[in-house]
Copies of this chain bind each other. A is one copy, B any other.
Amino acid sequence: MILLDGKKIAADIKEEIAIEVRKINNNGHDTPHLAAIIVGNNGASITYVNAKVKACELVGFKSTLIRLPEEITENELLNEIAILNTNKDIDGFIVQLPLPKHIDEQKVLMAVDPNKDVDGFHPTNVGKMALNLPTFISATPFGILELLERYQVETSGKHVVVLGRSHIVGSPMSILLSQKRKVGNATVTMCHSRTKNLKEITLQGDIIIAAIGIPEFLKADMVKDNVTIIDVGITRLEDASKKSGFKLVGDVDFKEVSKKSKFITPVPGGVGPMTIAMLLKNTLLACQRNK
């Protein structure tokens, strides 16, 4: 069993990006610049966006954090986005989700200039992804592709079973892995809450991507030997034995499933750390396109 060590790969990628930043600076070009908008005081969102800012510093990017009050109107937020869209110093920006309920999230995501949409959430970028055109692939799917590539997990002709049809993970993964691309050319089955005989299908998977958010859902008797497991789920469970009082658990029963696995991502330390690295990568790409 080989661990797909997202923490290590993410660190490698950040190091590679830092080298690119130095090259950009040495060539006299502007430093890549990521901006992030955060609305309100959601603790998890603040933690996450701060981690993104810190990652920018680490690789040598410029970063701008725009904190807006919970009560901001939709129009005011759209205005802030319009300013970032036209600000030539900013290569890419993100709007940290979720937004307060009085704001139409879809409308906000649609307002971001697709050329600066380093989260890859704008329909134009989703469409380009589906059409296998150059675009910003959103961070989690992009991170999974990268993990599979760096560990040379063969996908061509393999049967990939995707659990969960979210727009953030399951759906794009199923699209990407069936495409004619380096990490792709797989036969892909997309499963979700309406799927019957799920076990019959997971037992066929050479690679299983679990992204349903149900802790330890995938059990050892549902997978075949030598399976590759990508566990995207991350749930906090109470655990009195931990100092923090909780433990993080994926969608996969790691202890048992790992015994049958060829490759498997740990939780935490698998897919999670990849996302910020890929956001930085997209920002670098945005910056390089603008040269």
- Complex Cα distance A174/B122, Å? 21
Q: Does A259 contact B (CB under 8 A)?
A: no
- Copy number in the complex reads 2
A185 and B194 in contact (CB under 8 A), knowing A124-B127, A133-B123?
A: yes
Contact B130 A122, beta carbon cutoff 8 Å: no
A178 contacts partner chain B, Cβ-Cβ < 8 Å: yes
Q: Is A165 an interface residue (CB 8 A)?
A: yes
Q: Which of chain B's residues have a CB closer than 8 A to the CB of A125?
A: 123, 127
A29 at the interface (CB under 8 A from B): no
Expressed in whole angstroms, the Cα–Cα distance for A165 and B132 within the complex equals 11
Chain B residues contacting A191 (CB-CB under 8 Å) are: 187
For A121, the closest partner residue in chain B by CB is B131
Does the CB pair A190–B165 fall under 8 Å?
A: no
Docked complex Cα distance between A126 and B130 (Å):
7
Interface 1/0 per residue, A162-205 and B, CB below 8 Å = 00010100011011001110000111111110111000010000
Which of A123, A128, A156, A185 has the most B CB atoms < 10 Å from its CB? A123
Complex Cα–Cα for A124 and B124 (A) = 4
Cα–Cα distance between A190 and B186 once the two chains are bound (Å): 9
Most buried by B among A131, A159, A171: A131
Question: Are B133 and A127 in contact, with the CB atoms below 8 A?
Answer: no
Residues of B within 8 A of A126 (CB): 126-127, 130-131
Provide the residues of chain B in CB contact with A127, threshold 8 Å: 122-130
Verify B189–A188 contact, CB threshold 8 A.
yes
With both chains docked as a complex, state the minimum distance between the C-beta of A113 and any C-beta of chain B, in angstroms.
13
A106: interface (CB < 8 Å) = yes
Bound state CA distance, A131 and B172, in angstroms? 10
Please state if B194 and A165 are interface contacts (CB–CB under 8 Å). no
CB pair B190–A195 under 8 Å, yes or no, is no
Known: A124-B123, A130-B127. A174 touches B167 (CB 8 A): no
A93 CB to closest chain B CB, in angstroms? 19
Residues of B within 8 A of A190 (CB): 174, 178, 187-190
Verify B130–A171 contact, CB threshold 8 A. yes
Measured CA separation A178–B174 after assembly (Å): 10
Q: Which B residues are in CB contact (< 8 Å) with A130?
A: 123, 126-127, 129-130, 167, 171-172, 175
Write the A69-88 contact mask toward B (1 if CB under 8 angstroms, else 0): 00000000000000000000
Contact residues of A with B, CB < 8 Å?
106, 122-133, 156-157, 159, 165, 167, 171-172, 174-175, 178-180, 185-192, 194-196, 201
Some 21 contacts from A to B, beta carbons below 8 A apart, are A123-B125, A123-B127, A123-B128, A123-B131, A125-B127, A126-B130, A126-B131, A127-B130, A130-B130, A130-B167, A130-B171, A130-B172, A132-B167, A157-B194, A171-B175, A178-B192, A187-B192, A187-B194, A187-B201, A188-B190, A189-B189
